[in-house]
Each structure stands twice: as C-alpha cells, then as structure tokens.
Structure 1
Amino acid sequence: MRLVASDIDGTILGHDGKISHRTIRAFHACRDAGVELVFVTGRPPRWLHPLEDQLGHAGTVICSNGAVVWDLEAGRLVSARTLALDAVFETRRIIKQLRPSALFAAETLTGFHLEPGFIENDSSELLSEYTPAPLASTLTADDAVVKFLAIVREGTADDFLAEVSPAVAHLASATHSAPTVAMLELALPGVNKAVTLAEYAATLGIDAADVVAFGDMPNDIEMLRWAGDGYAMASGHPEAIRAAGQQAPHFDDDGVAQILEAKLAGLGVKPA
C-alpha cells in the first residue's frame, strides 16, 4: 500500500458534513507511515473545505470526476479537461429529445450555471449564491465547462443513464453519483476518476498494484476496477460493489477506517 485514493461523499463524508474521528485517525496514520493520500471526488474545488477543516489535507485532490486536478495547499489549478460549448449544447439538445422534462446545469472552472428549476425549491445552500438562468444566456466562450449536469424528477438515475449514455457517447461520457436523485454528470469523453488517478500515481512512480481505492457510486467504478485493491462501500451502489469485487464495511461502521486499520496493522502501524 503506497497510495490511498478515496472518494468523499458517501465514502468518508456523511450527510451531516462530518468525517468520523476514527476515519480521520486512520488517514493521519497512513500519512505518518509514508503512504500517499489523494482524494478523488465529483466535487468542484470550491467544495473541498471538509478535507481542509477536518482532515487537514493539503495535497492534491482530483475533482469533478477526474476533469480537474487541484493543488489544495496552493489553492491553484494543476490541470483541467473541458467540454467545448458546442458539445454541451448538442448534448443538451439530444437529452431534451429523449427526456423533455430534463433540466441542466454546468460546472465551470470559475463557477456554476443552472437553469431555472434545476434545484428543486431552490433549497441548496451550496448553490444559493447562483442565480438560475437559461444556459444559452449565461455560458460564454470564456467558460471552461468541466462537468455538465442533467436532472429529471421521474424515474431512477440508473434508467436515465442507460437511456442517455449511448445517445451522447460521441460528445460526452456520462455517469451518476447522487443516491436519491436522477441526475447525470457528463464530462469530456474518456474522462473519469481512473484516468486521472492513474496519471497522478504515475507521477509518483506508483503502480496500480500499490493503490488502495475506496468509493460507493457509479462514478467510482473505473477507479475501483483500476486500483490493485478497490473497495466499494457495503452501503454503496450495487454496480460499484460488483465492479470493485471487494467490500469495505458500511459507511455507518467507518468502513474505510476499518480497511485502513487492517492494512496498517500489516505494516506494523497502529492509528494513534
């Protein structure tokens, strides 16, 4: 175990916005033992405060499902893979044909653009600073789109993904990570957590065989397959569990911490 790569939401971070003390101790023990840590998330850089505030993490974070690499300590962009605006609007057109009720949003390197109604009841505190408006009127050539979002209020995310993914595959890769919402996350074709994680590990001279990865949702599937030791949370999506082939205990039971404690014990290390 030379590198630990972990998803955030639903893997180490709960709905209450907290990382458990046991999990924090396990990550600190990894760091003290010389094991590299990298967090691999669907979140944008501006939503990484739990890592800083609770874990004291100051390293690299792979954001937006692999589209962005962010240096947390320096607070700067390392790299980004972006969608062209014509691809964004053509993807929107195709999805609208399939699901006329769909609504859309776009994550850029500098902010967030959302259509009216994208956030139900406008109840999201994280997005309250953004004013809904048609994307065609707010997105400009200067906007670098790293993630395009589509949401419907009917059906499941799995069904929505199965319908949309093949129709837009030439324009964007699609996945999902919201456990109770039919929302798709679309990026440049070929971009996912595994691709960017593999590139990052290579810069450290670390092979997949020496990587332990944790995740819980379909946007983690490629990463869990790539890592030498991929663990899906027992509380995670069935497809993620199948892809990983190994399960960490349920999130509520500090599953990530349990696996890391066992691996550290094999190295003769005990979390403080």
Structure 2
Amino acid sequence: MRLIASDLDGTIIGRDGKISARTVRAFKDAAAAGVEIVFVTGRPPRWLDPLREQIGHEGTVICSNGAVVYDLVRSEVISAKTLPHTNIFQAREIILRLHPRATFAAETTFGFQLEPGFVEQGSVELLDGIEPMLLEQSLTERDAVVKFLARGRDLDPDTFLAEVQDAVSHLVAVTHSAPTVALLEMAQPGINKAVTLAGYASSLNIDPQDVVAFGDMPNDIEMLEWAGHGYAMASGHPEAIGAARYQAPAFADDGVAQILEARLAEL
C-alpha cells in the first residue's frame, strides 16, 4: 500500500459533515507511515473544509469527479478539464425533452451558477448570494465549467441516470453520487475519478496494484475498478459494490478505518 485514494461523502464523511475520530486517526497513522493520501471527490474545491479542519490534510485533492486537481495548502487549482459550453446547452436541450421539469446548474473553476428551481429557498447557495439565472444568460466565455448538473423532480436517481446517459453520452460523461436525489453530474467526455487518479499515481511512480481506494456510489465505480485494491462500502450503492474487488464494512462501522488499520498492521 503506497497510495490511499478515498471518496468523501458516504465513505468517510456523514450527512452531518463529520469524520469519525477513528477514521481521522487511521488517516493520520497512514500518513505517518509514509503512505501517500489523496482524496477523490465529487465535491467542488469550496466544500473541502472537513479535510482541512478535521483531518488536517495538506495534500492534493481530486475534485469534481476528476475534472479538477486542487492544492489544498495553497487553495489553488492545479489543473482543470473543462466542458465546452456548446455541449452543455445541447445536453440541456436533450434532457428537457426527456424531462421538462428538470433544472440545471454549473460548477466553474471559481464558483457556481444555478437556474431557478435548482435548489430550495434558504439553501446555502442562495444564502451565499448566488442569483438564479438561465445558464444561457449567466455563463460567459470566461466561465470554465468543470461540472454540469441536472436535477430531476420526483424521479428515481438510477432511472434518471440511465435515461439521460443513453441520450447525451456523445456530449458529456454522466454519473451520480446522491443516493436519494435525482441529481446528475456531467463532465467532459472521458473524464472520471479513475482517469485523473491514474495520472496522479503515475506522477508519483505508483502502480495501480499499490493503490487502495474507497468509494460508495456510481461515480466511484471506475476508480474502484482501476485500483489494485478497490473497496466499496458495504453501505454503498449496489452498482459500486458489484464493481469493486473488495468490500469494506459499512460507513457507520468506520469501514475505511477498519481496512486501513488492518493494512497498516501488515506494513
């Protein structure tokens, strides 16, 4: 084990935004043992405070499902794979034909833009002063979009994913990570967590066989398949569990910490 690559939400972070003391200790013990650690998340850079405040991570974070590589120490984007605006607007039109009530948003390298109805009144985004506007009106040539989002109303998340993926896969790479919300996350075709993690590992001369990865949702599947030791959380999505070679105990049982403790004992 030379590199640990871990998802965040549902893997080490709960709905309350907390990381358990046992999990924090396991990551700190791994770092002290000389193991490289990279977190690989669908979150944008602005949502990485739990890593700073609870783990004290001072390394690289792969964000936005692989579209962004971020330096947490310098609070700086190292690289970004952006999505052409033409692809966004074409995908939006196709999705609206399938589901006229769908609403949309876009993550950029420096912020977030959303359309009316995408979030509920009183949400963090609205409280931060983001004014809902149609993306055709708000996006400018300077806006580098790293993730395009579509939210369906009263839809099953997996059904929404399957329908949209078939229709727009020539324009965007589609996945989802919200277990109970029909929220699709779209990126430049060919971009996912595994692609960016593979490049990061290669830059450190680390072979996939020496990588231990953890995840729980469909957006983790490629990463779990790529890593020599990919662990799906027992509490995770059935497709993630089916794709991984190994299974970690459930999130509620500190599954990641349990695996790391056992592997560190073998070093």
Match for 1:85: what amino acid?
A: H
CA distance in 2 between counterparts of 1:29 and 1:124 reads 37
User: SS at the partner of 1:100?
Assistant: coil
Single out whichever of 133-142 and 218-227 deviates more from structure 2.
133-142
Match of residue 11 from structure 1: 11
Aligned to 1:89: 89
The CA distance in 1 between the partners of 2:228 and 2:216, in whole Å, is 17
**Identical residues among aligned pairs (%):** 66
Q: Secondary structure at the match of 1:205?
A: coil
SS at match of 1:74: coil
What is the CA distance between 1:177 and its match in structure 2? 0.2
Q: Secondary structure at the match of 1:58?
A: coil
RMSD (CA atoms): 0.9
Question: Are 1:175 and 2:148 an aligned pair?
Answer: no
The equivalences for 1:25-104 within 5 A come to 25-104=25-104
Partner AA of 1:128 in structure 2: L
SS at match of 1:214: strand
Q: Secondary structure at the residue paired with 2:236?
A: coil
Aligned partners of 1:135 and 1:65: how far apart in 2? Answer: 21
Alpha-carbon distance in structure 2 between the residues aligned to 1:103 and 1:6: 30
Q: Deviations over 1:183-211 (max 9, x none)?
A: 10000000000000000000000010000
Alpha-carbon distance in 2 for matches of 1:73, 1:235: 32
> SS of the counterpart of 1:232?
strand
Task: Please give the secondary structure, in 1, of the residue aligned with 2:50.
Answer: helix
Provide TM-score, normalisation by structure 1: 0.96
Which amino acid counterpart does residue 73 of structure 2 have in structure 1? E
CA distance in structure 2 between the partners assigned to 1:39 and 1:123 by the alignment: 29
CA contact (8 A) 2:229 2:245 kept: no
Residue 233 of structure 1 corresponds to 233
- Which runs of 5 or more structure 2 residues have no equivalent in the other structure? none
Deviation, 1:155, is 2.0
Structure 2 CA distance for aligned equivalents of residues 66 and 250 of structure 1: 24
Structure 1 gap ranges (5+): 268-272
Letter in 2 for 1:124: S
Q: Distance in 2 between matches of 1:226 and 1:253?
A: 25
Report what 1:122 is aligned to.
Answer: 121
Query: Could you tell me how far apart the structure 1 residues matched to 2:137 and 2:158 are?
Result: 30
Q: Is the 8 A contact 2:217 2:239 kept in 1?
A: yes
Deviations, residues 8-59 of structure 1 (Å, cap 9, x unaligned): 0110000111000000000001000000000000011111010000000010
Number of residue-to-residue matches in the alignment: 266
Higher mean C-alpha deviation, range 134-143 or range 184-193:
134-143
Deviations 1:83-108 (A, max 9, x none): 11111101100111111111000000
Scaled by the length of structure 2, what TM-score is found?
Answer: 0.98
